[in-house]
Amino acid sequence: MKTGYMRVRTVVAALGLVFAASAAQAAEVEVLHWWTSGGEAKSVAELKKMLEAKGHTWKDFAVAGGAGENAMTVLKSRVVSGNPPVAAQIKGPSIQEWGAEGVLANIDATAKAEGWDKLLPPVVSNIMKYKGNYVAAPVNVHRVNWMWANPEVFKKAGVSVPKTWDEFAKAAEAIQKAGFIPVAHGGQPWQDFTVFESIVLGIGGPGFYKKSLVDLDQASLNSATMVKAFDTLAVVKKYIDKDSPNRDWNLATAMVINGKAAMQFMGDWAKGEFTAAGKVPGKDFICAPAPGTDKGYTFNVDSFVMFKQSKADVAKGQADLAAAIMSPAFQEVFNLNKGSIPVRLGMKMDKFDDCAKKSSDDFVATNKSGGLVPSIAHGMAVPSATAGAMQDVVTEFFNGTGMSSKQAAEKLAAAAKTK
């Protein structure tokens, strides 16, 4: 009797231990993101698979809506009510803004164990840190200063793809005479700003770009170089068809794809449109750095920010999530689906297409040369309030009537003081 009772008790205790142990390891990892379109959803599913392989459960918290405005509103309400998700898709200086609210988790332990400081370019890892501690894991790199060109149109116009902004004006003139639209553009403020930052990088070089658009140096913002950048923006505007206002970027890309327009200045997410239309890079379309920017690289890095968790098992799941995001396997699969390149340095690129390989080579090279700069149009360089005020000036100049380049530079410098 007694032995039987004892045996039952040990079994129960053992079961309890097993149970407790498994409970300590498996956590429900809730991740807020807005990657809901085809390729993006496939990429997220990959992350889910990896976490489930480690015994955690994945709780998808997808909020649809392109640039994540809806997702941010939902996130704010969750954080205010004291119930933040494990991780959320937040990028750029917004990470600092969230850090200042005191709600982010320190994932230094994971970062140290995995050697992130060596795997990431310092300009990128600095964005992932709040007060010197890692609070976010980067997922991918988009290059923004691309020019997408249709070689067929260039051939018909008898000009070659421009390498500087001076060449651009001549080429655009010839293309227009040949009866094509030189530049496909979507007239939305963020797209105007995307073109503008490529012009600043092309005319002033990475050093000037950094001083003016990242460090917000007043003298650089209000300099002759900046005036010249606005002049160039006005030239580009001349070669855009008048129907562009409020056109979506992918419709502009379609104009390049079907040969109505010669080129578009847009980040490498445009590549997805070309490949979806069955076009081959190098043959049917050309991806080249925007004129004058071959020594520069404006990056747009997506990242997952980790929120403070009260439960130890969830914190363990969080660490596993961070490690999984930076793992070579995930970086490869995710970026193949998303059209971007791995943020982790030293990855094998043989599965990627030519544009991605060029992007990756330039990413590594500019990291060494100092030409790797954050994109201001995509919320990587300055806080959203400041970027917004500066974007207003650029889009007003671009669409407005009669603001001179000099006045625009003055207004840009004033807008940069917005806090």
Q: Which residues bind other proteins (CB under 8 A)?
A: 67, 69, 72-73, 76, 79-80, 94, 97-98, 100-101, 187-189, 192, 241-246, 383-385, 388, 392, 395-396, 398-401
Least distance (Å) between residue 180 CB and other proteins = 14
The distance of closest approach from Cβ of residue 72 to other proteins in the complex, given in angstroms and rounded to an integer, is 7
Is 89 or 395 the residue whose CB approaches other proteins more closely? 395
59: enclosing H helix or E strand = strand 57-62
The tally of CA atoms less than 13 A away on the side-chain side of residue 293 is 30
Residues 6+ apart with CB under 8 A from 262: 149, 150, 153, 154, 157, 171, 172, 175, 180, 181, 182, 183, 184, 256
Smallest distance, other proteins to C-beta of residue 394, A:
9
Q: How far is the CB of 370 from other proteins (least distance, A)?
A: 30
Q: In Å, what is the CA distance from 398 to each residue of 69, 394, 401?
A: 25, 6, 9
Residues 6+ apart with CB under 8 A from 341: 140, 141, 143, 335, 349, 352, 356, 359, 360, 363
Alpha helices for 30-182 (secondary structure H): 38-53, 69-80, 94-100, 108-114, 116-119, 122-128, 151-157, 165-177
By C-beta, is 262 or 390 nearer to other proteins? Answer: 390
Q: Which is nearer to other proteins, 119 or 181 (CB)?
A: 181
β-strand partners of 187: 245
Nearest of 352, 403, 339, 395 to residue 148 by alpha carbon: 339
Q: CA 225, CA 301: separation in Å to the nearest integer?
A: 27
> E strands along 167-259, which residues?
181-183
Question: Looking at beta carbons only, is 230 or 363 nearer to other proteins?
Answer: 230
Give the C-alpha separation, 216 to 200, whole Å: 13
Q: Is 78 exposed, middle or buried (0-12, 13-18, 19+ CB in 10 A)?
A: middle
For other proteins, which is the closer residue by CB, 84 or 374? Answer: 84
Q: How far is the CB of 396 from other proteins (least distance, A)?
A: 5
User: Which residues share a beta bridge with 295?
Assistant: none
Q: Closer to other proteins by CB, 302 or 320: give it.
A: 302
- CA 19 to chain centroid: 42
Q: Whose CA is closest to 412, among 165, 228, 213, 232? A: 213
User: Cβ closer to other proteins: 60 or 97?
Assistant: 97
Output the smallest distance, CB 87 to other proteins, in A. 17
| Of 314 and 387, CB closest to other proteins | 387
Tokens read off for 120 = 């990431």
Minimum distance from residue 66 beta carbon to other proteins (Å):
12
CB closer to other proteins, 243 vs 350:
243
Minimum distance of other proteins from residue 418's CB (angstroms): 9
Q: Using the minimum distance from each CB to other proteins, give the nearer residue, 100 or 277.
A: 100
Radius of gyration over every alpha carbon of the chain, rounded to an integer in angstroms: 24
Least separation in angstroms between CB 388 and other proteins: 4
Q: d(Cα 149, Cα 127) in Å, to the nearest integer?
A: 32
- Cβ neighbors of 402 (< 8 A, separation 6 or more) are none
CB of 145 to other proteins, least distance (A): 22
Structure tokens at 105: 């988790």
Q: What are phi and psi of 29, to 5 degrees?
A: -105, 110
- CB nearer other proteins, residue 244 or residue 335: 244
User: How far apart are CB 56 and other proteins at their closest, in Å?
Assistant: 28
